[in-house]
Amino acid sequence: MQYRLLADATAIVHFLFVAYVVVGGFIAWRWPHTIWLHILAFAWGFSTVLFGFECPLTDLENWSRHRAGEAGLPSTGFIDHYITGVLYPRSALDLVRVLVAVCVLASWVGFWFRASHRRYGRAVR
């Protein structure tokens, strides 16, 4: 029972991490010191997609699901199992990747704009 709970909790944390990769730059508009955490999270998330690095959250979920007597995630990983084909069609994968990149870039440009205006004493709301 506890392994199943660990697997489910890991999946939830994984969803939150993916969401943070997408919108964490906007969170940094409110809390500027979090931009470095977002840059690290984005770099890790991007590298897992681009270079195929193994994610420790996927490994933990697989380990705990196997311990609970369940099948682990397919070899394609967390995003392919829980998100692609579920939240958007598989045929839109490239479009979704571009939209995520645009969203992150827009959040960083907005962050830079807000930070530069704060630096020079002009408040941006």
Among the listed residues 93, 74, 100, the one whose alpha carbon sits nearest the alpha carbon of residue 22? 100
Would residue 124 count as lying in a domain? no
The answer to whether residue 119 scores a pLDDT higher than 80 is: no
**Is the pLDDT reported for residue 76 higher than 80?**
no
Answer whether residue 125 is part of any domain.
no
In a domain, 29, yes or no: yes
Q: Any idea what the Cα angle at residue 72 is, between residues 70 and 75, rounded to 5°?
A: 155
Average pLDDT for the chain: 91
More confident residue, 56 or 52: 56
pTM across the whole model? 0.86
Q: Give yes or no for a contact between 11 and 82, defined as CB atoms under 8 angstroms apart.
A: yes
In angstroms, rounded to a whole number, what is the distance separating the alpha carbons of residues 55 and 78?
A: 9
Residue 46 has pLDDT above 80, yes or no: yes
Tally of domains in the chain: 1
Q: What is the reported pLDDT for 123?
A: 56
Range of the domain at 110: 2-119
The pLDDT, as a whole number, for residue 122 is 59
Residue with tokens 């969203």, as numbered in its chain: 103
* CA atoms of 98 and 124, how far apart (whole Å): 28
Residue 23, domain member (yes or no): yes
Our CA angle for 62, 67, 73, nearest 5°, is 20
